Structure 1
Amino acid sequence: MKILDGGVTSPKGFLAAGISAGIKNENKKDMAMIYSEKPCESAGTFTTNIVQAAPVKWDKERVYSKEKAQVVVINSGIANACTGEKGFHYCRQTALKASEVLQVKEGSVLVASTGVIGKQLPMDCLAKGIELLVPELKDSIEGGNNAAQAIMTTDTCPKEIAVEFEIGGKTVTIGGMCKGSGMIHPNMCTMLAFVTTDLAICKELLQEALSEVVKDTYNMVSVDGDTSTNDTVLLLANGLAGNQIIKEKNEDYNLFLEALNYINTILAKKIAGDGEGATALFEVKVVNAQTKEQAVTLSKSIVTSSLTKAAIYGHDANWGRILCAMGYAGVTFEPEKVDLFFESKAGRIKIIENGVATDYSEEEATRILSEEEVSAIADIKMGAAAATAWGCDLTYDYVKINADYRS
Structure 2
Amino acid sequence: MTDLSVANKTSTPVFDVTAIRRDFPILAQQVNGKPLVYLDNGASAQKPQAVMDAMDRYYREMHSNVHRGAHTLGDRATAAFEGARETVRQFVNAASTREVIWTRGTTEAINLVANGLAPRLKAGDEILVSHMEHHANIVPWQMVAERTGAKVVPIQVTPEGELDLESFDQLLGERTRVLALTHVSNVLGTVNPIASLIQKAKAQSVVTLIDGAQAVPHFQPDVQALDCDFYVFSSHKLFGPTGIGVLYGRAELLEEIPPYQGGGEMIERVSFERTTWNVLPYKFEAGTPAIAEAVGLGAAIEYLNRLDRNAMEAAENALLQRANALIETVPGMEIIGTARNKVPVMSFKIAGLHPSDIGTLLDQQGVAIRTGHHCAMPLMDFYGVPGTARASFAFYNTLEEVETLFTGLQKIQRLFA
- Per the TM superposition, whether the score is higher than 0.5 is no
TM-score scaled by length of structure 1: 0.25
User: Higher helix proportion, which one?
Assistant: 2
RCO (CA 8 Å, sep 6+): is it higher in 1 or 2? 2
User: Higher strand proportion, which one?
Assistant: 1
